């Protein structure tokens, strides 16, 4: 994407005051989700709090098992939390019944990780977009077809006449994901939840899809919850970031504040694990050696935390005694909060 990340440019291109405002369209308050089987319980989300403002992008960052996709299912109403509250404007999401959920999903749409699995293989490109227009906006068939072709132009499935009758197996991976995005924006939602939308795409086309998402949020003033394990794409795309580890928020705030100056050891280790071919030549190998050290530390330590302490303690290179007995609370300015004793 053509976006400079320097401090001066960032202030000019992002409305950071909106990103940390207390009045958002989506709000999660102390949301927890526990999956219980016959012999064990698994905490997928623990007292998660964050707000999404109109027209902004909030990135949920973390490795597999951090709770990102669980939160996506809770936000879209696919699952219900064990405790806590999720509100979206006037909607109390947890209390919605089936008919209310259908109305709610007009306003909150999802872009899935696997575009092929998300599409009906029997449906044409045109029908895949016409259907939500007829269902949610109650448009006539002719109006829906015309609007669907305009949306195809928006997501760059062009020339339109070459795509209208194609089926998913006749599209490339990038084209399929553009179709999934087209279907998601068709009902004119206020919020899109994008769950790892580019992880299954070739590197060469990932930036184009992310740029499309960013363009759509600006032109349509839509909010986006962007779920990713890729900290660099979050830095380019998001206004706010929420860093998750095993269901806990360990760091959050304005994107540039958090990602240019990460405070939590886990966030720092995420950065250290990102390959950078230029570091060794500039720094005589010191950064590369440090990356290897911290990454090795993450792998070698147990990933099973104690029940009463910080969940990251078994993997943390800076662990202290109190980390093993109590869970640190988020603290700091509203623009940048961290749940860690070490930073103190």
pLDDT of residue 271: 85
Inter-helix orientation angle 141-154/173-185, to 10°: 130
Residue 331 tokens read as 């603290």
> What are the residue ranges in the chain where pLDDT is below 50?
1-23, 277-278, 280-306
Which of 14, 96, 91 minimizes the C-alpha distance to 58? 14
- Per-residue pLDDT at 200: 85
Q: Give the separation between CA 170 and CA 120, rounded to whole angstroms.
A: 13
Residue 338 has which token pair? 């961290």
pLDDT for residue 295: 40
Query: What confidence score (pLDDT) does residue 120 get?
Result: 94
For residue range 86-118, list pLDDT tens digits in order: 999 888 999 899 889 989 999 999 998 888 899
The crossing angle, in degrees rounded to 10, of helices 125-137 and 141-154 is 120
pLDDT value of position 274:
74
| pLDDT at residue 76, rounded to an integer | 94
Question: What pLDDT shows up at residue 219?
Answer: 92
- Pair 197, 185: CB distance under 8 Å: no
Query: What pLDDT, on a 0 to 100 scale, did the predictor assign at position 201?
Result: 86
User: What integer pLDDT is reported at residue 336 of this predicted model?
Assistant: 95
Hey, what are 183's tokens? Answer: 């279907």
Q: Which residues of 91-103 are buried (b: 16+ CB within 10 A; e: fewer)?
A: bebeebeeeeeee
Q: Cis omega (within 30 of 0) on the bond before 159?
A: yes
User: How high is the pLDDT of residue 331?
Assistant: 92
The domains found in the chain, sorted by start residue, are: 7-260 (3.40.50.300), 265-338 (no CATH)
pLDDT score at 285: 44
């Amino acid at each position: 994407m053509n976006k400079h990340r320097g401090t001066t440019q960032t202030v000019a291109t992002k409305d950071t005051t909106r990103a940390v405002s207390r009045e958002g369209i989506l709000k999660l308050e102390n949301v927890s989700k526990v999956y219980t089987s016959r012999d064990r319980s698994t905490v997928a989300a623990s007292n998660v709090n964050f707000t999404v403002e109109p027209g902004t992008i909030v990135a949920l960052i973390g490795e597999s098992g951090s709770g990102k996709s669980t939160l996506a299912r809770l936000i879209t109403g696919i699952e219900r939390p064990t405790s806590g509250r999720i509100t979206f404007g006037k909607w109390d999401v947890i209390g919605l019944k089936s008919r209310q959920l259908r109305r709610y999903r007009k306003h909150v749409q999802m872009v899935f990780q696997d575009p092929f699995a998300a599409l009906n293989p029997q449906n044409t490109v045109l029908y895949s977009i016409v259907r939500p227009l007829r269902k949610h906006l109650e448009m006539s068939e002719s109006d829906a077809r015309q609007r669907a072709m305009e949306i195809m132009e928006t997501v760059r499935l062009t020339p339109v006449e070459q795509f209208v009758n194609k089926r998913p197996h006749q599209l490339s991976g990038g084209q399929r994901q553009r179709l999934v995005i087209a279907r998601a924006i068709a009902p004119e939602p206020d919020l899109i939840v994008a769950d790892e939308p580019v992880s299954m795409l070739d590197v060469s086309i990932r930036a184009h899809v992310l740029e499309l998402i960013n363009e759509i949020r600006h032109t349509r003033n839509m909010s986006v919850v962007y779920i990713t394990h890729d900290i660099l794409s979050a830095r380019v795309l998001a206004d706010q970031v929420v860093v998750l580890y095993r269901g806990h928020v360990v760091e959050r705030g304005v994107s540039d504040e958090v990602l240019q100056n990460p405070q939590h050891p886990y966030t720092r280790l995420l950065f250290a694990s990102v390959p950078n071919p230029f570091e060794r030549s500039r720094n005589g190998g010191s950064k590369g050696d440090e990356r290897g050290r911290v990454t090795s530390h993450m792998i070698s330590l147990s990933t099973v935390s104690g029940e009463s302490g910080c969940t990251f303690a078994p993997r943390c290179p800076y662990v202290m005694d109190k980390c093993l007995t109590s869970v640190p609370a988020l603290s700091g300015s509203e623009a940048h909060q961290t749940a860690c004793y070490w930073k103190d």
